[in-house]
Structure 1
Amino acid sequence: MPDLAIQTSGLVKVFGETRAVDGLDLQVPAGAVYGVLGPNGAGKTTAVRMLATLLRPDGGEATVFGHDVVREADAVRSRVSLTGQYASVDEEMTGAENLILLARLLGHRKPAARERAAQLLEAFGLSEAAGRQVKTYSGGMRRRIDIAASILNTPELLFLDEPTTGLDPRSRNQVWDIVRIVVAHGTTVLLTTQYLEEADRLAGRIAVIDRGKVIAEGTPGELKSSVGAGAVHVRLRDAATRPDAERVLTEALDATVYLDADPVALTARITGNGREAAAAEQASRALARLAEAGIVVDDFSLGQPSLDEVFLALTDHPAAEEAAA
């Protein structure tokens, strides 16, 4: 289909006895951000490396803009760029030197390479740091110079593999702004992430993968509604009352209550029949029931489901469990 940037069918990659990707089916529309959401070990990076022709699939098929990633690897490589999880530029060189060198390797003449490097350094807010060695850059600056290097020649498809892992909120927002700019200039972005918020902010559609398979796919709103209209978060005054609070919330919400790592905190998903107003009404009744039981609540909030709650609903295990596996 000409309007698809990526199409995979039954894609498989095996390492020894581990099926890192196990029958992956994707259809990624061109011209937007497509999110691939999953915990560490879900198969996100392995899938990206196959689509970028860095790994050969052990089964299934995959095309990028209609070109088979195995039989037409050169045609795929000419259309894509990849920014991995770790900075790939030379830390002993300055930001400007890195971009100029890479531009020259991509075929730009020296004056054009300098001009393109200057354009990207300015666009990404790195002009003042252009003459500094990359090893002196902050984490956010390194991610920006990495992405700049990836679009020296504007790719039709940009793979961003967990680009904001480990970044502070300000740096993460800067990377998000850059992604939006890249897409506005016509590039399709496939974004892998562990953060539901990141996928929500950037992606038009999201595939949730677990153990190498797609377990859910849709818009951010569709995915949230699939696991409930919201999540109740409760912090108690006294940790000794948590067993009673768990019982009261379970009865009041008719939902499973999860005990957080914090000994005074509990969380429960609310269905609300998919409606935020109904979820808010359920949450209010639950708060009243806690008060009637004499349980003192220091903090009570109704928010959107978290990544862990999505995975609990879809897979019966939290994301952290997979990350540790």
Structure 2
Amino acid sequence: MTTTAIAVHGLRKHYGSKIVLDNVDLTVTAGTVTALLGPNGAGKTTTVHILSTLVRPDAGSLTVAGCDVVRDPDGVRAAIGLTGQFSAVDGLLTGEENLLLMARLRHLGAKRGAARVAELLEQFDLVEAARKPLATYSGGMRRRLDLAMTLVAAPSVIFLDEPTTGLDPRSRHTMWDIVRDLVAEGTTVLLTTQHLEEADQLADHIAVLDGGRIVADGTPDELKSLVPGGHIRLRFADAAALDTAARLLDKSEADDTGLTLTVPSAGGVGALRAVLDRLDAGHLEVVDLSIHTPDLDDVFFALTGAKTVPGRADRKERES
């Protein structure tokens, strides 16, 4: 039986005449990762700030970990952790001192706080750097320390607002592994990100924000299925085989120069099998094939008015 960690109904927020969030509904299941995607200014960070009690909503019903965001902000704060877009570490302290400070702020007590700090230093691979000044830390180390500070009180819900901004690919993957481990232990994560690959890698559920509204939500595969453009590309040995295949397969497009045939496909094993069965019936051999499916880049373009895709990753093809 699933439980709801975050429930948002009819959320509205405006600043003067500018409407930032307009009747937003969002449900996050406990022990999962939900990603908020959208162009700059879509309202992602504002949503996180409202849910973490930093900003008051103008309207709507919002609960986090069973606590009402407006009526019980202290209950919400006791249950959550927040990692913002920029590291909130104290550069005058060492990594260990930053964690101990957070433990004191969370009223863990000296013995329990020291034990928790030691545990987090080990978990985030910061033991060797624990007593070094933050000036010696790389960007990835600072972000790991920032997340470790968020976890001092073992929150059940974590808000990650673009947690890998500015990180190199290796550090980004390290952060992804940490998030996966947290979720495997039962933590709920609400993530905003400018990296579409990040959402694809981590999120169980994605909500797309545009102009202050949720324009689509679902699993990554469900969102990709909303966008046309999936196809199977077949390459043949000669022009005669290409021409025959083009006649066999409806709505296909031939490229005489590359001896390739593009066949529209919704994806899936069944669609591929149907194409190959028709080719077998025509005694045609395929030299090579690739399956192309819409990715989150395509979803982003189709569902928002964005001219460019943030954090655009190289498109991927599954070759077989």
Q: Normalised by the size of structure 2, how large is the TM-score?
A: 0.77
3-state DSSP of counterpart to 2:116: helix
Change (3 A) 1:91 1:315: same
Change (3 A) 1:281 1:308: farther
Structure 2 counterparts to residues 175-214 of structure 1, below 5 A? 175-214=175-214
Identity %: 53
Kept after mapping to 2: 8 A contact 1:3/1:29: yes
Change (3 A) 1:164 1:303: farther
Change (3 A) 1:146 1:231: farther
Bigger drift between 101-110 and 141-150 goes to 101-110
Cα root mean square deviation, aligned:
3.0
Bigger drift between 102-111 and 138-147 goes to 102-111
Kept after mapping to 2: 8 A contact 1:271/1:279: no
Instruction: Report the CA distance between 1:270 and its aligned residue.
Output: 8.9
Residue matched to 1:311: 300
3-state DSSP of counterpart to 1:130: coil
Structure 2 counterparts to residues 4-83 of structure 1, below 5 A? 4-83=4-83
Rounded to whole Å, the distance in 1 between the matches of 2:81 and 2:96 is 20
Instruction: Report the CA distance between 1:225 and its aligned residue.
Output: 1.5
Rounded to whole Å, the distance in 1 between the matches of 2:115 and 2:16 is 47
How many residue pairs were aligned?
274
The gaps in structure 1 that reach 5 residues or longer are 233-250, 254-268, 283-300
Bigger drift between 199-208 and 303-312 goes to 303-312
- Structure 2 residue identity aligned to 1:314: L
Residue matched to 1:273: 266
The gaps in structure 2 that reach 5 residues or longer are 233-250, 254-261, 276-289, 311-320
Please state which structure has a larger fraction of its residues in helix: 1
Residue matched to 1:262: none
Rounded to whole Å, the distance in 2 between the matches of 1:141 and 1:205 is 28
3-state DSSP of counterpart to 1:100: helix
Residue matched to 1:88: 88
Instruction: Report the CA distance between 1:137 and its aligned residue.
Output: 1.3
Instruction: Report the CA distance between 1:186 and its aligned residue.
Output: 1.7
Rounded to whole Å, the distance in 2 between the matches of 1:85 and 1:280 is 46
- Structure 2 residue identity aligned to 1:167: L
- Structure 1 residue identity aligned to 2:126: L
Rounded to whole Å, the distance in 2 between the matches of 1:304 and 1:90 is 45
Rounded to whole Å, the distance in 1 between the matches of 2:263 and 2:221 is 15
Change (3 A) 1:276 1:21: farther
Per-residue deviation, residues 115-161 of structure 1 (Å, max 9, x unmatched) = 21121111111111111222321111111001100011111111111
